Amino acid sequence: MPTKMRLQRHGKKGRPFYHIVIADGRAPRDGRFIEKIGTYNPVAKPAEIDLDFAKAYDWFIKGADPTPTVKSILTHEGVLHYNHLMKGVAKGAFTKEVAEVRFNEWKAAKESKLTSAERAVEIAEKTEAKKRLEVEAKINEARAAEIAKKRLQEAKAAAGESEEVAEEVEVAEEAPVAEVVEEAPVAEEAPAVEEVPVAEEAPAVEEAPAVEEAPAVEEAPVAEEAPAVEETPVAEATEEPAAEEPAAEETKEPTAE
């Protein structure tokens, strides 16, 4: 049965997480598997690899065919280098103890390189991030300056327009104000004098009961008794003989003749 060392995908969309498995070469990619020998997380920086070294070496020497990605993982973890040393032991070039010592030396050197490389990567990432922030800060400052300049120009333009409008309004209002000042005393002040309630208050004096009480004096019998004096026939008696005197004169004239 052809066996393969492959990755079995897990995780969410955009954040993959893989299991390193031993599966039948005829099985689907994410189908059934024989054994799980590790995990691989490419999203982390640096990538995280958790591999069972003994099982991986055992399946490799048994003939399990690794995929390109799994082969790079085995190289990174030293499975292929350890297999190379074991071939030298099988040929009698050196003993297994020497092979173990060489492998440990290689592993320590690689870890130091990886550590220095990781540190260099971290430093480079930090430096790049710092530069990016500086560039973004400069861009933001330039944009802020442009926006401030534009707003200042708009404010000046608005202020100029408002001043022009104010001047036009003042010019338009000056002439009507003069006309109102000239016409106002004639039209508005005269009614103010006419509206003084003098005529309305006069009836208050006329309505006073002083005149109405006057008949109390007129009711005195002085005016009513006056006809008694008028009935005196003195004037009539004196007037009647005055009219009769010509008759006497007329009688006297023939006698004179």
What would the pLDDT profile of 181-223 be if each residue is shown by its tens digit? 455 444 444 444 445 444 444 444 444 444 444 444 444 444 3
Model pLDDT, residue 30 = 73
How many angstroms separate the CA atoms of 86 and 133, rounded?
Answer: 51
CB 8, CB 29: distance < 8 Å: yes
CB 49, CB 114: distance < 8 Å: no
Q: Which residues, in sequence order, are CB contacts of 10 under 8 Å at separation 6+?
A: 16, 17, 18, 19
Q: What is the average pLDDT value for the chain, to the nearest integer?
A: 73
| 108 vs 227, residue with greater confidence | 108
Cα Rg of the chain, angstroms:
70
Residue 251: pLDDT band by 50, 70, 90 thresholds? Answer: very low
CB 38, CB 60: distance < 8 Å: no
Task: Give the bridge partners for 50, in sequence order.
Answer: 39
> 61-116, pLDDT tens digit by residue?
998 999 999 999 999 999 999 999 999 999 988 898 999 999 999 999 888 887 77
How many angstroms separate the CA atoms of 83 and 168, rounded?
Answer: 97
Residue 59: pLDDT band by 50, 70, 90 thresholds? Answer: very high
- Assign domain 3-93 one CATH number from 1.20.1260.10, 1.10.10.10, 3.40.50.1980, 3.30.1320.10: 3.30.1320.10
Model pLDDT, residue 92 = 87
Model pLDDT, residue 106 = 92
Task: Give the bridge partners for 38, in sequence order.
Answer: 20, 51
| 254 vs 35, residue with greater confidence | 35
| 24 vs 235, residue with greater confidence | 24
CB 20, CB 60: distance < 8 Å: no
CB 47, CB 76: distance < 8 Å: no
How many angstroms separate the CA atoms of 144 and 132, rounded?
Answer: 18
Report CA torsion sign: 173, 175, 178, 183.
negative
- How far from 172 is each of 26, 62, 159, 168, 196, CA to CA, in Å? 96, 105, 20, 6, 37
Q: Which two tokens stand for residue 119?
A: 């540190």
Report pTM.
Answer: 0.47
| 193 vs 152, residue with greater confidence | 152
Residue 162, pLDDT > 60, answer yes
Model pLDDT, residue 182 = 52
How many angstroms separate the CA atoms of 73 and 60, rounded?
Answer: 13
| 154 vs 121, residue with greater confidence | 154
Side-chain half-sphere exposure of 106, counting CA atoms within 13 A: 16
Report angle CA 210, 213, 219 to the nearest 5 degrees: 145
CB 109, CB 117: distance < 8 Å: no
Domain positions in the chain are 3-93, 117-174
